[in-house]
Amino acid sequence: SEYADISLKDIDQVSKSSFPLCMRHLFEKGVGLKLDDALAFWREEFTKKVGSERFDKEYAYAIRHNYGKEGKRTDYTPYACSKIITSAPGAGDHHGCPYRHFSEDNLKAALSRMGLSSRGMEDVMDKVRNKHYQLACTLTFEAVYGASCDTGINHPNQYFEESQKILKS
Ligand code: SF4
């Protein structure tokens, strides 16, 4: 299957090569957030291939174990960008869109860590100043992967899936 060669121990590496800025940010934060969001994210991805029952049996435990914590979490609802952008970080079950919720300095630093050139960064910041946050994310995607994303970014998982297609082609 498409994701069969992503093993659980590769999650950290994949987070660096293939995650949108919002998910990347979560992975740099505390263990509790990392665990919950890793579960939410990987459940969404893996259940397309292995089914939710098998995910809960085989993968969820392994992810929790990997993060050194066991506990039951039942709400794995992933949010679309539009919802993440329009609600306050921490309200409900997400931690914000960096394009919308980071200060300009923090956002620039994060974009620089993703390898954007100063020209690419200016294009992204221009979209941010005009409050076109999803377009800013789309431009980031295009700069990082050197490929166009005609549909635009509308969901963190979609960003991941599109990037995986490019990285594996
Ligand atoms: Fe995440 Fe969507 Fe914001 Fe991109 S636009 S950082 S995918 S919430």
Going residue by residue through the chain (169 aa), what tens digit of pLDDT does each one get? 344 445 555 666 777 888 888 877 766 664 444 566 667 776 776 666 667 777 676 666 666 655 554 444 433 345 789 988 887 765 544 568 899 988 999 999 999 999 999 999 999 999 999 999 999 999 999 999 999 999 999 988 889 889 989 998 8
Distance 144 CA to ligand 1 centre (A): 14
CA distance 34 to 28: 8
Cβ(134) – ligand 1 distance below 6 Å = yes
Residue carrying structure tokens 């505390």: 30
Q: Are 99 and 136 in contact (CB under 8 A)?
A: yes
Ligand 1, atom 3: closest residue by C-alpha = 97
Record the pTM: 0.73
Cβ(140) – ligand 1 distance below 6 Å = no
Please write the tens of the pLDDT for every residue from 103-128: 999 999 999 999 999 999 999 999 99
Best of 134, 140, 141, 162 for a ligand 1 pocket test (most atoms within 8 Å of beta carbon): 134
